Amino acid sequence: MSTSPQANPLSEPVPQLDLTAQYAAIGAEIRTAVERVLASQQFVLGREGAALEAEIANLCGVAHGVGVASGTDALILALRACGVRACDEVLVPTFTFVATGSAVSALGAKPVFADIRPETYNLDPAELERRVTLRTRAIVVVHLYGLAADMEPILAFAKARQLPVIEDNAQAIGASYKGRRTGSLGDAACISFYPTKNLGAYGDAGMVVTNSPQLAERIRTLRNHGQAAKYLSSEPGWNSRLDEIQAAILRVKLRHLSNWQRARQSHAAEYSRLLTQTPGVMSPIAPEGYEHVYHQYTIRIERRDALQKFLGERKIGSTVYYPYPLHLQPLYASLGHNAGDFPHSERAAQEVLSLPMYPELRREQIARVVEYINDFITH
Ligand SMILES: Cc1ncc(COP(=O)(O)O)c(C=O)c1O
């Protein structure tokens, strides 16, 4: 029998994400869908995009979906449609992907950062009162790693101040909060179909979903050069359209999403079950009434960098989402923040580690990852 590293399951790498396993399973369906678009020769704003908009809106439990070029564009367009303009302030959590803040900056507005709750990594609702000013024009809430933020107090605060709430639902499509899907909780929600997301395209794509016909119409206009009617522009927009090939691919993948979601949840349960015996490691939590979709399975450990190195040497992939909170990014140096301003976010940035997570992950791979973590802890 061969003893080469490839043949030995103990030395087989476990990547943090393996999209090739998914393509192997659904490649034939995808190719049929792409062929259909090629045969139609309709590539922009056609039937596939319209059908995807209806299907994603339905999944989120809202009336409208507007396909756009990326999750970042979805944020920029939603903020703009909600009335955010240059010099306005927008409240955003500091522990997130940079796009949440840079979408605000793209409009010439100022992101005003807020800290997170350490146990969920999501916006701490108590922070809103501390950070709001007379210039605050909107709130962006991120559902990080696939877990909804605590929306009830956030929505109550926003209602009292008459501020629109935009959900950054880039990582949490299919998740729910107290019986309602993420994407249906705020005034508008932004989805990213970046290839690594739970529902990922084969390139960039995104969508805004909303119950408001006015917001949907405005975003439809803005994504297409501000044209309210053909060749008649009423305001400056740009080209941010989701193309038909991506839409057709996403429609195929959407049919598998609930199965993939269940697989992710079952992997997460297995990780958490095995890690209960591991001292010093905090597993992700899903509070009562929240359905977590585990875009990431993110643990927390004090010696994070050493663990990541240890795992890497054993061919176990892991990623730090995110090593720098937004207030400490060079991009936002001019805002004058210092280390210590948002302690929960800063600590999370030093301690979080996302382990291998994708639907096709196998039980023995999960067991191996946890065994190595245990080895690290006990040595
Ligand atoms: C939380 C969050 N917001 C926004 C984005 C931006 O989405 P996109 O890459 O599709 O522009 C992403 C993903 O990249 C994200 O994870």
pLDDT tens digits along 252-275: 999 999 999 999 999 999 999 999
Q: Which atom of ligand 1 is nearest to the CA of 197?
A: 13
* SS3 letters across the chain: CCCCHHHCHHHCCECCCCHHHHHHHHHHHHHHHHHHHHHHCCCECCHHHHHHHHHHHHHHCCCEEEEECCHHHHHHHHHHHCCCCCCCEEEEECCCCHHHHHHHHHCCCEEEEECECCCCCCECCHHHHHHCCCCEEEEEEECHHHCCCCHHHHHHHHHHHCCCEEEECCCCCCCEECCEECCCCCCEEEEECCCCCCCCCCCCCEEEEECCHHHHHHHHHHCECCEEECCEECCCCCECCCEHHHHHHHHHHHCCHHHHHHHHHHHHHHHHHHHCCCCCCECCCCCCCEECCCCCEEEECCCHHHHHHHHHHCCECCECCCCCCHHHCHHHHHHCCCCCCCHHHHHHHHHEEEECCCCCCCHHHHHHHHHHHHHHHHC
User: Residue 325 pLDDT > 60, yes or no?
Assistant: yes
Query: What pLDDT was estimated at residue 295?
Result: 98
User: Residue 9 pLDDT > 70, yes or no?
Assistant: no
Measuring from atom 4 of ligand 1, which residue has the nearest CA?
A: 99
pLDDT tens digits along 34-45: 999 999 999 999
Q: Which atom of ligand 1 is nearest to the CA of 70?
A: 10
Q: Measure 335 CA to ligand 1 centroid, in angstroms.
A: 22
| Cβ contact 81:53 at 8 Å | no
96 C-beta closer than 6 A to ligand 1: yes
User: Residue 99 pLDDT > 70, yes or no?
Assistant: yes
Measuring from atom 8 of ligand 1, which residue has the nearest CA?
A: 71
Smallest CA-to-CA distance from 345 within 322, 314, 313 is with 322
200 C-beta closer than 6 A to ligand 1: no
Query: What pLDDT was estimated at residue 228?
Result: 86
Ligand 1: residue of 144, 169, 192 to mutate (most ligand atoms within 8 A of CB) is: 192
Portion of the chain with pLDDT greater than 90, in percent: 94
Q: Which atom of ligand 1 is nearest to the CA of 99?
A: 4
Query: What pLDDT was estimated at residue 20?
Result: 96
101 C-beta closer than 6 A to ligand 1: no
Q: Which atom of ligand 1 is nearest to the CA of 96?
A: 1
N-term to C-term CA, the chain: 32
Query: What pLDDT was estimated at residue 11?
Result: 73
pLDDT tens digits along 214-224: 999 999 999 99
User: Residue 7 pLDDT > 50, yes or no?
Assistant: no
Which residues touch 95 (CB under 8 Å, ≥6 apart)? Answer: 115, 116, 121, 144, 322, 325, 326, 342, 344, 345, 348, 349
Q: At 6, is the pLDDT very low, low, confident or very high (cuts 50, 70, 90)?
A: very low
Query: What pLDDT was estimated at residue 379?
Result: 83
Single-letter amino acid, residue 107: L
124 C-beta closer than 6 A to ligand 1: no
Q: Measure 170 CA to ligand 1 centroid, in angstroms.
A: 5
Measuring from atom 10 of ligand 1, which residue has the nearest CA?
A: 71
Instruction: Give burial (CB, 10 Å; 0-12/13-18/19+) of 289.
Output: exposed
Q: At 349, is the pLDDT very low, low, confident or very high (cuts 50, 70, 90)?
A: very high
64 forms beta bridges with 210
- Going by their DSSP bridges, the two strands 188-192 and 206-210 should be labelled as antiparallel
Residue with tokens 């008459």: 162
Query: What pLDDT was estimated at residue 106?
Result: 98
| Cβ contact 181:292 at 8 Å | no
User: Residue 328 pLDDT > 80, yes or no?
Assistant: yes
Q: At 5, is the pLDDT very low, low, confident or very high (cuts 50, 70, 90)?
A: very low
Query: What pLDDT was estimated at residue 10?
Result: 63
Ligand 1: residue of 17, 70, 72 to mutate (most ligand atoms within 8 A of CB) is: 72
Query: What pLDDT was estimated at residue 169?
Result: 98
Q: What is the pTM of this model?
A: 0.96
User: Residue 105 pLDDT > 60, yes or no?
Assistant: yes
Tell me how far apart the alpha carbons of residues 254 and 185 are, in angstroms, rounded to a whole number: 21
171 C-beta closer than 6 A to ligand 1: yes
**What average pLDDT does the chain have?**
96
Ligand 1: residue of 70, 194, 321 to mutate (most ligand atoms within 8 A of CB) is: 194
Q: Measure 2 CA to ligand 1 centroid, in angstroms.
A: 43
Structure tokens at 195: 């290839």
Q: Which atom of ligand 1 is nearest to the CA of 206?
A: 10
User: Residue 1 pLDDT > 80, yes or no?
Assistant: no
316 C-beta closer than 6 A to ligand 1: no
Smallest CA-to-CA distance from 364 within 293, 288, 267 is with 267
Q: At 4, is the pLDDT very low, low, confident or very high (cuts 50, 70, 90)?
A: very low
